[in-house]
Amino acid sequence: MTINRMLVYITLTTVLVLGYVGGVVVLQALISALTGYHSQLAVVLSTLAVVALFNPMRHQIQTLINRRFHQNRNLTG
């Protein structure tokens, strides 16, 4: 595995895990405040959001990391 790919997936995993956990906590608090009950809806919605964001986030992070690597090559080369 190249360093570039490793950086992409470590960053992507970190962002998605933090987003998932934050989404579950916020949505559960919101649903609980509105209905008075705990619901699995927060987990379902957070999971769907992570699935929907995986490829767009991966492409965005890949672009940012590629720019960073190419910028360094242009400065030193």
For residue 9, the model assigns a pLDDT of 93
Cα distance between residue 25 and residue 43, in whole Å: 9
Q: Which two tokens stand for residue 51?
A: 């699935």
Q: Where are the domains of the chain?
A: 3-76
| pLDDT single digits (tens) 8-36 | 999 999 999 999 999 999 999 999 999 98
State yes or no: pLDDT of 55 exceeds 80: yes
Max mean pLDDT range (4-8, 11-15, 67-71): 11-15
Can you give the pTM of this predicted structure? Answer: 0.79
For residue 23, the model assigns a pLDDT of 94
For residue 48, the model assigns a pLDDT of 96
Contact 2, 32 (CB under 8 A): no
